[in-house]
Chain A
Amino acid sequence: MSIVAGCDVGSLTSKAVIMKNKKIIASHLIKSKPRPKDSADAVMKAVLAQAGLTRGDIAHCTGTGYGRERIDFVDEVISEISCHGKGARWLLPTARTVIDIGGQDCKTMRIDRDGNISRFMTNDKCASGTGRFLEVMAKVLGVSIDELGKLSKQSVAPVTLASTCTVWAQADVIKFINSGIPVEDIGAGINTAMAGRVAILVNAVKPEEDIFMTGGVAKNIGVVSTLEKLIGKRIKKARKADPQMAGAIGAALLSWEKVNGNGLRN
């Protein structure tokens, strides 16, 4: 059975997955480097080492992510929108709507039973509603991204951020810190602001259940639970693999389809 790979070079993290018979045999995630090519080389080297393979063992590799056109070892490049659709369907076979919050954008998609995209929206206004927004806010607050997510549950009186603009929201957060507002209330306010931006995009694609979330922010329980309240629907969780790996998983699945002749893009 052919071994295939997917490499997702995002703006914040780069991910690589190796699959055999549509099962993950190795996966790896690194913080992205300034040059997409360096990120791709590093994450691929690490995942190959983990699997005990060489590049020659990979029958087909698909690249995706914002740096997809700078990866020189891939056989094909596919947009992260299609890859996340595929990956989400593999992670949760009942998924019909996918929310992916990446480092520098947010996408919502409706997918068919094969994980193909039937409708999608991406944010096109600003950095709010992206992973970068949370990263900036966590830094100002002096907590990790993981801790930021947990703050919502501890909050008694979440603050309201006056602006969804990342720069002005940052100023708001500094003002709250200086006013002595508890960090969990500020954190909850940040998660709510983030969820509010994403909810607009989710509603725009007229979501069908099951709804599934991919990308690093899927692990932020504060954003996910607030988003559920805002859209009035449950967001399902997958335990098969890390949802942050969905793009790379989807890329590997597209490689598998290509190699096995029933690919959608032959």
Chain B
Amino acid sequence: MDEFYDAATRLNCQAIRDWQATERPIVGYTCSYTPGEIFHSVDILPVRLKGIETEGMEIGDTYYGPFICSFPKCLLQLAGKEKFMFLDGAIITPGCDGMRRLDECWRKAAEDYKGILPDFFYYFDVPHKSENHGMAWYIEELRILIKKIENHFNVKVTDDNLADAIKVYNQGRRMLQEIESLRYRDDVVVSGTDIFAATVAGTVMQREAYNQALRRWLEELKNRTTSLSAGKKRLMLIGSISDEIELFRMLEENNDAIVVGENLCFGIRHEGNEIDEHGDPVEALGRHYLQSSVCPRMYGKYKERLALLKQKLDAARVDGVVMQNIRFCDLHGAENSLFERDLEAMGMPCLKLEREYGPMIDVGRMKLRINAFLERLRV
């Protein structure tokens, strides 16, 4: 677990230092709609940008203004503080409007903070619909992205390399799905905190190394017999973007609850479906990333997302859902309210938490609400 925690909780982690030692490029990305397989296929390390280790917000606030989600502001703050200098490139995606604005805010900040803009700085557009022209558009965007990468890094993304990368990623997906299924048992042998750390680590570590570490961990988990769930309430954590291991730790620290599922974009949700290993690999990537979407940024998919969530809640026999949303995160703020309405009507207790992203801001008030929610569940 140590390597997972290192990769998940430190910006300058061992996995990045090891890769830097090979003098091969690292490209950061901001959204789960960016296929890591493309980079992996040409020996570029894709690293999902995290907002951890942010101290202060003077740069983020200056270029963004105050009324916006604190996650992209943290990314800008870290960029301005030269915490992302290990990047050879960055891909900005319109996961939401706040994240879209990171493109222009980072460029603008780079006028004042020299050298913080990676040489390869690319805006990767992602449509909000996955049907027909939306899918054609996304696949076209993927092909343009590939061309840009080839030109900048002087590499060639071939169908064979891409197909191999898909196979490697699928191996990891299968193992994560196997780990996820361990949470469906009566006696859960692994904490939600550990699983989330392992999942977040996958957005940083080199994929073959990650798969090996995951394989070792999975074997160890299969041999565990001590239940961590006995007498505890089974929770699911959903909502706004979060890479915060501490959030899970806070839910589980009093030994009253165990997190048996999450629906977060750093979590396992995108790993559920494997990518088709046959046919055109770019089209296969397109189908996986755009169609298996569970993010509220996608139009017209609420019922699909509710059904998927309900399926996960049933499988993991969840007692209550904690819905967090970062202040000014309209997408999850709105969807959490819909989920709360529909899940409560089905008899599933829900707790909505509005909060700031950051090094566990609002801990006292959040704990109060979580404690009261768990007390409600215990009645």
A interface, CB within 8 angstroms of B: 66, 78-82, 105, 116-118, 120, 122, 124, 264-265
Contacts and interface: CB of A to CB of B under 8 A. Distances in A.
Contacts of B364: 66
Nearest to B379: A116
Contacts of B376: 82, 116-118, 120
Contact of A265 (B353, B362, B365, B375): B375
Interface in B39-93: none
A210 B358 CA distance: 40
Nearest to B375: A82
A183 B355 CA distance: 37
Given A124-B354, A124-B355, A264-B378, A82 B365 contact: no
Contact of A79 (B353, B354, B355, B375): B375
Contact of B368 (A80, A116, A264): A80
A117 B375 contact: yes
B14 interface: no
Closest 10 CB pairs of A and B: A81-B372, A79-B371, A79-B372, A82-B375, A116-B379, A117-B376, A264-B379, A124-B354, A79-B368, A265-B378
Interface in B349-379: 353-355, 362, 364-365, 368-369, 371-372, 375-376, 378-379
Contacts of A118: 376
Contacts of A265: 375, 378
A124 B365 contact: yes
Looking at B364, B372, B378, B379, the one whose CB has the most chain A CB atoms below 10 A away is: B372
A81 B370 CA distance: 11
A124 B371 contact: no
A265 B372 CA distance: 12
Contacts of B369: 81, 120, 122
Interface in B187-230: none
20 contacts: A66-B364, A66-B368, A78-B375, A79-B368, A79-B371, A79-B372, A79-B375, A81-B368, A81-B369, A81-B372, A105-B365, A116-B379, A117-B372, A117-B376, A120-B369, A120-B372, A122-B365, A122-B369, A124-B354, A124-B365
Contacts of A78: 371, 375
A118 B375 CA distance: 10
A65 B365 CA distance: 11
A47 B355 CA distance: 38
Nearest to B366: A124
Interface residues on B, range: 10 to 19
Interface of B: 353-355, 362, 364-365, 368-369, 371-372, 375-376, 378-379
A116 B378 CA distance: 10
A81 B375 CA distance: 9
B264 to A, nearest CB: 20
A78 B367 CA distance: 11
Nearest to A254: B375
A80 B369 CA distance: 10
Contacts of B365: 105, 122, 124
Contacts of B375: 78-79, 81-82, 117, 265
Contact of B372 (A66, A82, A264): A82
Nearest to B355: A124
Contacts of A105: 365, 368
B372 A124 contact: no
A78 B353 CA distance: 19
A79 B371 CA distance: 6
A212 to B, nearest CB: 18
B371 to A, nearest CB: 4
A122 B362 contact: no
Contacts of A80: 368
A81 B371 CA distance: 9
A80 B376 CA distance: 12
B150 to A, nearest CB: 48
A82 B372 CA distance: 6
Nearest to B356: A124
A105 B368 CA distance: 11
Given A117-B375, A264-B379, 6 more contacts: A79-B371, A79-B372, A80-B368, A105-B368, A120-B376, A265-B378
Contacts of A122: 365, 368-369
Contacts of B362: 124
A249 to B, nearest CB: 17
Nearest to B352: A121
B375 to A, nearest CB: 4
A177 to B, nearest CB: 30
Contacts of A82: 372, 375-376
